[in-house]
Amino acid sequence: MKKKAALELSIGTIVVIVIAVTLLSLGMVFVRKIMCSAIGLTGDINDKVTAEIDRLFGSTGGEVQCIGSAGEPIKMEPGKMNIVYCGIKAKREAKYSIILEDWGGTGLTKSELRRWIIQDEWSGTVAPGDETPKKIIRVSIPDDAPEENIWFTIKIKREGSTISTQTLDFKISRSGLLQRAMC
């Protein structure tokens, strides 16, 4: 009789443990999916870039506006390819070129920052109504980069003539611990 009771107790214990582990696993998957989806919503780059460029055009009325040209510095994340976008509202079809002229940062040398810059110019023909954000500068910031402010000065040309110069401000900032751990 004692052996039968011991067997029933161990089977009951095993069933409870299996159910508990299953529910724990499902709960973790559920929480991870919800959290990563929520974090992913905040990372929808193209929509944010387009909205920010539209906002800049609305506030300044300029022909060319770039992310980082107004307001607070824009976040750049170490360990990722960071892209600086510009929007062009052409009044007529023209060839535009945007060239990185100068760069710098607090606590960083110019040569160190230059090694991070992958792409430093863009050129192309833009027609009226073409409001697709252009990828002007690509910066690959190493994982061990310090959290500092950086800036880029760009020269904007239309048909070979300089139409403006803009200084763009950015801040190197790591993503949150929660995002790195879960996604």
Distance, in Å, from the CA atom of 149 to the CA atom of 164, rounded to the nearest integer, reads 23
Task: Kindly state the greatest CA–CA separation across the chain.
Answer: 98
What's the pLDDT score for residue 70? 75
**pLDDT mean across residues, the chain:** 81
* Contacting residues for 95 by C-beta, under 8 A, at least 6 apart: 123, 124, 125, 126, 158, 159, 160
Tens digit of pLDDT for each residue in 14-65?
888 889 999 998 888 888 777 777 666 555 655 666 666 666 655 555 788 8
Domain boundaries, the chain: 43-182
pLDDT category at 73 given cuts 50, 70, 90 is confident
Residue 150, both tokens: 């950086």
Looking at CATH, the fold of the domain delimited by 43-182 is given as: Immunoglobulin-like (2.60.40)
Lowest mean pLDDT among 42-56, 136-150, 162-176: 42-56
Backbone angles phi, psi at 142, to 5 degrees: -65, 155
